[in-house]
Every structure is written in structure tokens, then in C-alpha cells.
Amino acid sequence: MDKSTNDWDYFDKIYCISMDERSDRREEAENQFDKIGLLEYVEFITVKKHPHDSEEGIFESHTDCIKKGLAAGAGNIVILEDDIMFEGFSPERLKQCIDFMREAPDWKAFFFGCLVSGSRKTHRKGVLAVKYRSLAHAYVLNRGFAELLVKKPWRKIAFDTELKSHNNGFYAAFPAFAFQSNSPTGNSKYLRLDKFRRLCGGLWRIQKRNELFHRYRSIFIALHILVILLIVCWFFR
């Protein structure tokens, strides 16, 4: 990719959280970043596994990245996780996201990929207003919202659940271009869920299905109603 036309330099700080012992995931993340012209902009933040609670460790690692960005004077902060993979990325799609962030005064968080429980169109092609549900592997925070988040202490609430509690002013790229890979989860509380996700094709497939369902929800519901009506008509013919 031509670095002279790379829009990643719009972001003030870009961090990637990586477990100290998972050098394999760091190497793969570096490969992923290099493919899209992002590698030279990323600062890896290596963390130790929390001795008692992996969920608390994840919360602290995200919060520490936010604090680090704020201390550096960043107006916006990108936070990534090292099990990230990119699909469908293009400089044009990144530019659409950045143009939206420049134009929209109310955005608090912008996701390059996540799970949602609702979405609607915005004025900008390639960007949806979303009702965030979960996943925090690739997102941007503006400074005002970042300052609010770092005031929240650990309350035995997962980091993405904390994000979800602020569900307003959240936006996402559509279609998403950042996904979590099939690498085993680092959260020991969700080993069974992780196994189930793998049986369903992995988070990559789950995220894509979730995105399509909520974007075209009315069509899916209409089709289901039509099928039910056809079955009823056939039964009573």
C-alpha cells in the first residue's frame, strides 16, 4: 500500500493489546497490520495474564491503553486486540469511516467490527449507527468518551458490557472489515462459549451473520412470516 495515501495517520494513537506469552498472535497481528498499511502506526501493549480473573485483566488492559492515549494528548484512540483479522478492507472504506468521524460531532465510539443488537443507516455510505452488543477487538474512542470511560473502576463487569451501558453515539463500518480470528480465547471464563463459537464456524462467521441479520432484519422477518402463512395455507387447503 502506498504510505503517502495512507489514512491511518488520521488517528492520534493506535494500540494493540497482546498477551506477553502469545508471541504467535503478535506475529500474526503484525502480518495482518502489514497487509493493510497499518503496521508502522501500531504500538503493541504487552500484558501479563491476570493472576485471578482474566475478565478483570482484559478490563484493565483496555483501560490502561485508554489512559496511555489520553496522557499522550490524543484526540482519538484506536484499540485493537492481537487476535484480529481483516477482510474486505480497502483504503476507500477506511476513508469513508474517517470522513464520518470528521463530520459527525456526536460520535463516541466507532467499531471496525463488532456484534450489534440493532443498526440503522447514516448519511455516510459504509457507516451504520449501531446498538452495540459485544466484542472489542477493533474500535476507536473520541477523547471526551475516553475520559468518561477511564473514570469507571473495575466492578466485576466485562469491558464490552461496560461499553454497552453507554449505548448512544456508537457507529460501525458496514460491512465490517475487522474480525476476531479463530485463535483460542484468552478469557478463561468463556472457554465453553469459545468452543461453541468454533462449532458455529468461529466469531468471523457469527459476526457476519449478526451484521446481515440486523441490517436486513425487516426483510428476514417478512420472509419468515410469508413462510408461516404459506405453511398455514397449505395445511388448511
Domain boundaries, the chain: 7-235
pLDDT of residue 221: 60
| 66 Cβ neighbours under 8 A, 6+ residues apart | 77, 79, 141, 146, 149, 150
pTM here? 0.84
pLDDT at 2: 44
Question: Grid coordinates representing 131?
Answer: 446498538
Query: In CATH, what is the architecture of 7-235?
Result: Alpha-Beta Complex (3.90)
What pLDDT, on the 0 to 100 scale, is given for residue 211? 74
Helix (H, G, I), strand (E, B) or coil at 14: strand
Q: Give which of 7, 45, 14 is closest to 141, Cα–Cα.
A: 14
pLDDT in tens, 195-224: 555 555 567 678 877 777 666 666 656 655
